[in-house]
Amino acid sequence: MSETADRIQSDTRQAMRDRDKVLVDTLRLATHELKNAGIEKKGSQGLTREVASPADYLEESEVVQVLQKLLKRRREAARQFQEGGREDLAQRELAEAAVLEAYLPRGLDPAELEAMVRAAIEETGATSMKDMGAVMKIVVAQAAGRADGAAVSAAVRELLS
């Protein structure tokens, strides 16, 4: 099992003892999503070994992807609640997003991202926006969950144009 998934399980138990409802709910949701991702991976790869949890099938990078997807959903829901005038629900979604962020790796600062994009442009020999896909492929793989796809895309667009 990945280190992050282990941490989520132990923090869930502690949050239950502390009666922290937002933390418990958020971590249970994360555990549920990790379990589903593990079941999906097990089924698609024909894995048969017995484990305590389907999340045991996931690598650390896959756990990070699941958490990023959950974080994106929380932020989008908060935005929609704010637009709908439901500030109370938006605040709950933002609180859950803050919990999820604590389990994700530290993000790249803009200078690090720019250096990574420049290196990928140099590596691929990209000269125009037509080459954006090749550059994005390299940068997304190198960033490995430490940078949002939109931020990577914006940096690549800026440097290629």
**pLDDT value at position 63?**
86
String of DSSP letters for 1-58: --HHHHHHHHHHHHHHHHT-HHHHHHHHHHHHHHHHHHHHHHHHHT-----S-GGGG-
Q: What is the pLDDT of residues 50-101, one digit of tens each?
A: 555 656 677 887 888 888 899 999 999 999 999 999 999 999 999 999 999 8
Cα distance between residue 57 and residue 38, in whole Å:
5
User: Which fold would CATH assign to domain 110-160?
Assistant: Arc Repressor Mutant, subunit A (1.10.10)
Q: Where are the domains of the chain?
A: 3-101, 110-160
Class for domain 3-101, per CATH?
mainly alpha
- Token pair listed for 27: 């971590």
Cα distance between residue 142 and residue 46, in whole Å:
28
Task: Specify the pTM.
Answer: 0.72
